[in-house]
Homo-oligomer: A and B are copies of this chain.
Amino acid sequence: MKRTGKPLLDTLNGTVPDRPPVWFMRQAGRYLPEYRALRSQAGSFMDLCLDPVRAAEVTLQPIRRYAMDGAILFSDILIVPHGLGIAVAFRQGEGPVLTPTGPDDPLPEFAAGRFSARIAPILETVRRVKAALPPAVTLIGFAGAPWTVATYMVEGGSSRDFARTKDWAFRAPERFDRLIDRLVDATIHYLRAQADAGAEALQIFDSWAGALPPDAFERWSTAPTARIVTAIRDSHPDVPVIGFPRGAGASIPSYASGSGVDAVGLDTAVPLEWARSAMPDVCLQGNLDPRWLVAGGSGLDAQVRRIRSAMAGHPFVFNLGHGIVPETPPEHVARAVAVLRGEA
């Protein structure tokens, strides 16, 4: 494969790195004082996502602070519903709020022109970040996976049990297929647009994959992801795709082979030795528990070294198994990166 000189991108393409490249899910966010300062000037969270100047600045903050190998676009997994014309609000302490949709409601319409207009600010953010990034840093775009995005649309927000979504999927699976189909179409369009705007790798977040039994996981997570990966590979063969099927446990290897993703993000519960043995040919990414970044101390150092050592010799990207939490001291993030790089 062709080397790019970008450690993260090369690793996602299957190169075994001398030391693992690193980025952290939610590396741009509330735990950073410079984020909170900027956040207080913006309106709603959605306003911030759709403000290219501020969203680009937020994306770059952790790159300046930690020299991460990857910059992940500051945005949200609910941009696809937004692009489909669905109102998405974020209320303080409540998470996202949408009008719930069900099997008897009209399906959302994917109209490329209108969708493009609504996501245009996100693409402007991508271009601004790309222009500002140091050349060795890989710009990562992303989208929510269709299943995960569907749960928010059907539940009207976050959920503990996904009751409405599963009831729809189990009772009217063909109709649910059609909702997923629309989301696949929109997600392909959205990820391709991010790649056109300068994203060099793409991550698909299936945050609620673990809620699905194996047959449903295959149908509504692995298979739709495969269609997205095939489409991206067709239009953007140099842009690797990272799939993150959180909570999928023993189904992760079949997700990896079935979806064809270039790299698999591992959640905190996944044993690394098992993962590398079950997926010898796939780049892996993960999986420090973000609570270790809160705890800090010698325990954090030991965990970073354990993960690095467990994955030595494998194409591996150091990351968390879940996003950084707001109460994380930024100096613990710096420490983890320094230990990983052998600088501490």
Q: A163-B325, A247-B210 are in contact. Are A170 and B269 (CB under 8 A)?
A: no
**A161 pairs with B325, CB closer than 8 A:** yes
- The chain B residue with its CB closest to the CB of A275 is B250
> 0/1 per residue, A110-133, Cβ < 8 Å to B?
000000000000000000000000
> 0/1 per residue, A208-237, Cβ < 8 Å to B?
001111111100000000000000000000
**B250 pairs with A247, CB closer than 8 A:** no
- The chain B residue with its CB closest to the CB of A293 is B170
A251, CB-defined interface residue at 8 Å:
yes
Specify which chain B residues have a CB less than 8 angstroms from the CB of A213 in the assembled complex: 268-269, 287, 289, 321
Count of this chain's copies in the oligomeric assembly:
2
Interface residues contributed by chain A, number (CB under 8 Å):
44
- The chain B residue with its CB closest to the CB of A254 is B271
> How far, in Å, is A285 (CB) from chain B's closest CB?
15
> How far, in Å, is A253 (CB) from chain B's closest CB?
9
> How far, in Å, is A280 (CB) from chain B's closest CB?
15
Other than the given A161-B325, A247-B269, 19 more pairs (CB < 8 A) read A161-B291, A163-B294, A163-B327, A170-B289, A171-B297, A171-B299, A211-B268, A211-B269, A214-B270, A215-B306, A216-B289, A217-B269, A248-B249, A248-B269, A249-B249, A249-B250, A249-B269, A250-B271, A250-B275
Could you list some 24 contacts between A and B, CB below 8 A?
A: A163-B291, A166-B291, A170-B291, A170-B294, A170-B295, A171-B297, A171-B299, A212-B268, A213-B287, A213-B289, A213-B321, A214-B269, A214-B270, A217-B269, A247-B249, A248-B269, A249-B269, A250-B252, A250-B269, A250-B271, A250-B274, A251-B269, A251-B274, A254-B271
